Structure 1
Amino acid sequence: MRIVLAGGGTAGHVNPLLATADVLRSRGARITVLGTAEGLEADLVPAAGFDMETIAKVPLPRRPSPALLTLPVRLQRTVEHCRRVLEGADALVGFGGYVSTPAYLAARGAKVPVVVHEQNASPGLANKVGASFADVVALTFDSTPLRCRKGRTVTTGLPLRAAIAHLAADRRDPQRSCSRRAGAAKRLGIDPQARTLLVTGGSLGALHVNEAVTGAAADLPEGVQVVHLTGKGKDGAVREAVEAAGVAERWLVLDYLSTMEDALAVADLAVCRSGAGTVAEMTALGVPCVYVPLAIGNGEQKLNAADHVASGGAILVDDARFTAQVVRERVMPMLVSDDLEEMARASADLGHVDAATELADIVEEVAKEGHR
């Protein structure tokens, strides 16, 4: 079976693509990835051992501009390039981004079966195009307003990288969860028995989140510890604040952690942004969250968190309203509340651990149906 996967630009598109490609490759499929030279896929795809066909980036202008005049010619050239790549393919799987639109159009012309995966709660333009003629549309979130017009729509969750998927499975088994937590705590140098708050703003960190949380550091409840990933170059002020608050011995400050699985293995509550990948990981892992969505785009981060919040497994605080007072009055009490265990169960009930496997199953099914 030969499968072509298209997606790129950001880690949010590339990571689920690679997770799905890994499963398909393990089953013997031959994989080709369509990507652009400018996106993260240019580095991540070859590093993962997959062949990548580089196509021209053809952004669709969202408002009138000179680029709109040349769009038809540029798009047609790229569609033709994609059609050549798709010759002999059994299915195309698109994950959105600039590269997916010409890939979808090429697949329709070549009558190659199409599976669309939408990462966000607010669907992107490329996947709206693909959904209009796809065989299956797979969603990360139930509430995403995207439906397959001719085939079926399913909610698979977001395909997770193997390390996170394995941790998610372990966290759902009490014995394995305890073992993973103990090992991670030992590597981090923290108490495996203490309730643990994870604070992270992603790889770049979130200065405002750092300031709000450390502003309430003096109110850290007894028996509670913090793992705080500040973002590169943002750890100095956090270290000073927790030293001044007298809680440095219970507040692990790291600017970056290459083994993020360790931080997630010990987390009982997380304060974090709500990108689609973060929400998918936290629910799969069964981690209750305080989401502080980054106000970008069309507010997609707030939408991404909506299902988790509605389930009772998370709360959401707008970035502008997230202050030291909010941390003191809402977040700190959660860490010593019996409700945290119920929130963890609600989170796990919502999460999808095997999304990559489920999506690979769908791709194989669609490919086989295309031969009938």
Structure 2
Amino acid sequence: MSRHIVLTGGGTAGHIEPMLATATALQLREPGIEITCIGAIGGLETTLVPARGFKLEVVPAVPFPRKPSLDLAKLPPRLVTATMAARKILTKVDAAAVVGFGGYAALPAYLAARTRGVPVVVHEANSTAGMANKVGARWAKVVATAMPIPGLRGAQVIGMPIRDTISKIDRQALRAEALTHFGLRPDFTTLLVYGGSQGARTLNTAIVGAAQVLHDAGIQVLHSYGKKNDVSAPVYADGPAYTAVPYIDRMDLAYAAADFVLCRCGMGTVAEVSAVGLPACYVPLPHGNGEQRKNAAPVVAAGGGLLVEDDRLTADYLAAQLLSILRDPAKIAAMSANATGAGHGEAADRLAEMVLEVARP
């Protein structure tokens, strides 16, 4: 009889993508294993999880108010209702383990698992653990993290689980197909500019402003500018191409086409870019708690990338600083090797192995 593993995570792609990567790794490691994901009603996971072929059950969302408010008073009954719903799911599938990645459905799943004696595994992708994972980690059999996190005792740093289509990519074998797919031309160094699924205005402005200088220097650009943005991208009839698209749904081909990346530094982006061995210029968000800067720090320290503050990333910076690297194949190769060494392409496999070790027979 096959085991049934329940995974929970949602709200953002930073919770959902490692969950789905781990689900795939579990299937590969134990053929016949059954997978159910628990998400929150109305969350992003209600779209992404079924689209990747996994079964999804939902429970009421349980957000944690950060300030005293009416929502704080509603937290206990909401949590009880969601935990009871999660417990029914665990009972129905006879869960062998619960694996959580954070999000509004995670704490109810952790509490339900505890009341049923189901082993819990927690993975934290951010530099600071979220409330749900802090609570779940107290009784989890395994706590894994993408990077060292103060305050999570016994946590094992394994990196960020990423899709096997990315972690196992052969960039050279896919390069010709990738260039054709994006309308890029062979024999030119390719810069991939990627501001996440929503795009990034700072990156968009800088790269369009530097386009002509890069083109004259023999650098072509694959630019994902975001569905909600609009850019006046140049068109070149010959020489290095400039391909601008609102969204890239084949990131494996984008990475195969690229020689260097200009990007934000969300943990998922840093994990993927370093795992495939691409050097990058990382540009952290200018607001927040500095988390994005911390995400890129290990790769930058290893020599696999640069870190540029948002207000310093301009067309002039790209022309004066980044261009010298893009025109130096030996420098790109050295940074690529350093990025590969700093990456964690095996994180999904390692987490799957940990889950199966503690899961009930």
TM score, norm. by length of structure 1: 0.88
Instruction: Point out the more displaced range, 38-47 or 250-259.
Output: 250-259
Aligned 8 A contact 1:13 1:97 in 2: yes
Partner SS state of residue 191, structure 1: coil
| Aligned partner of 1:145 among 147, 150, 172 | 150
- Give the counterpart of 2:161 among 153, 159, 162: 159
> What letter corresponds to residue 138 of structure 1 in structure 2?
A
3-state secondary structure, aligned to 1:237: coil
1:174 counterpart residue number: none
- Report what 1:5 is aligned to: 7
Q: CA deviation at 1:281?
A: 0.3
**Which residues of structure 2 form unaligned runs of 5+?**
none
Distance 1:365 1:17, change over 3 A: same
Structure 1 residue 234 displacement after superposition:
4.0
Matches of 2:85 and 2:183 in 1, distance apart? 52
CA deviations over 1:111-148 (Å, ceiling 9, x no partner): 2111111112232221111122211111122x33352x
Does the 8 Å contact 2:208/2:232 carry over to 1? no
Confirm or deny: 8 A CA contact 1:235 1:253 kept in the other structure.
Answer: no
The yes-or-no answer on 1:102 pairing with 2:108 is: yes
Give the match for residue 16 of structure 2.
Answer: 14
CA spacing shift, 1:73–1:258, aligned 2, 3 Å: closer
Which whole-Å deviations, capped at 9, do the CAs of 1:229-255 have from their partners, x for residues lacking one?
22236454123xx66xx9885322223
SS at match of 1:357: helix
Q: Distance in 2 between matches of 1:190 and 1:208?
A: 24
In structure 1, the partner of 2:342 is: 350
Corresponding position of 1:223: 218
1:189-241 CA deviation, whole Å, 9 max, x = no partner? 323332211111122222221111222223226332221222236454123xx
1:1-372 matches, cutoff 5 A: 1-26=3-28, 27=30, 28-87=32-91, 88-141=94-147, 143-145=148-150, 147=152, 149=153, 152-167=154-169, 170-171=170-171, 177=172, 179-220=173-214, 222-232=217-227, 234=229, 236-239=231-234, 249-337=240-328, 338-368=330-360
Decide whether aligned partners of structure 1 residues 111 and 271 sit closer, same or farther in structure 2, where only a CA change above 3 A counts.
Answer: same
1:351 and 1:32 mapped to 2: Cα distance?
Answer: 29
Change (3 A) 1:294 1:66: same
State the distance in 1 between where 2:253 and 2:151 align: 35
| Structure 1: gaps (5+ residues) | 172-176
Does structure 2 retain, via aligned residues, the 8 Å contact 1:82–1:106? yes
Counterpart-to-counterpart distance in 1, 2:48 and 2:246: 23
Q: Report the more deviating stretch, 188-197 or 114-123.
A: 188-197
Following the alignment from structure 1 to structure 2, what is the Cα–Cα distance between the partners of residues 260 and 69? 43
The number of aligned residues is 353
TM-score by length of 2: 0.91
| CA distance in structure 1 between the aligned counterparts of 2:354 and 2:168, rounded to whole angstroms | 21
Amino acid at match of 2:43: G
Counterparts of 1:92 and 1:362 in 2: how far apart (Å)? 12
Change (3 A) 1:344 1:214: same
SS of residue paired to 1:226:
strand
Contact 1:210 1:238 in 2 (8 A): no
